Amino acid sequence: MRHRRVVRRFGSDSEHHRAIMRNLAISLLLYEKIQTTLPKAKELARYIEHLVTAARSTLQGADEARKTAVYRHIWRFLHHKAAMKRLVRDILPRFADRPGGYTRIVKTGKLRVGDGAELAIICFVGSEEARISERQKRLEKKAKRVRR
């Protein structure tokens, strides 16, 4: 029986499940938008929500010693320097005033060819505006280079 079991294991043991979640979280933090199966996206949303909330709550009003603790807490989940820096520098400031709900899951309506699993896209809320502004900066930089 599976009374009160809430974590989806995806047919793997706990270490493999943790590795799956870690790899998906790193990809989401680096690219801000990934495509995966619907159950993995739902589980990843829980994982990311917990990570962002914990990091955000400990980072607010933190002195230098406390920031080290925040980095260690994030490191416990991720084990990836680039993803950790991206979370602290880019993503946490965006969600400073938001009480929760940092991710969005969109069903694509497509099925994976090999096994017919339902696919979904998971992204951060507001990542569209961030990507548009980054693209604008790149285009302006490119225009400056062309004018010279």
| pLDDT at residue 111, as a whole number | 95
Residue 116 has pLDDT above 90, yes or no: yes
78-112 pLDDT, tens digit per residue, is 999 999 989 988 888 888 888 889 999 999 999 99
Model pTM? 0.80
Is the alpha carbon torsion for 7, 83, 98, 123 positive or negative?
A: negative
- Domains annotated on the chain, with CATH: 14-147 (3.90.1030.10)
CA distance 29 to 22: 11
pLDDT of residue 2: 77
What DSSP line would sit under 53-116, residue for residue? HHHHHHHTT--HHHHHHHHHHHHHHH--HHHHHHIIIIIHHHTSS--S--EEEEEEEEE-TTT-
Please list the residues that pair with 120 across neighbouring strands. 36, 107
Helix/strand/coil percent split, the chain, to 5: 60, 15, 25
Phi then psi for residue 61, to 5 deg, are 65, 30
Residue 7's pLDDT band (cuts 50, 70, 90): confident
Digit-coded pLDDT (tens) for 18-74: 999 999 999 999 999 999 999 999 999 999 999 998 888 777 766 777 778 778 888
Question: What pLDDT does residue 82 have?
Answer: 94
- Dist CA 109 CA 45 (whole Å): 19
Taking Cα atoms as reference points, which of 93, 69, 80 lies closest to residue 31?
80
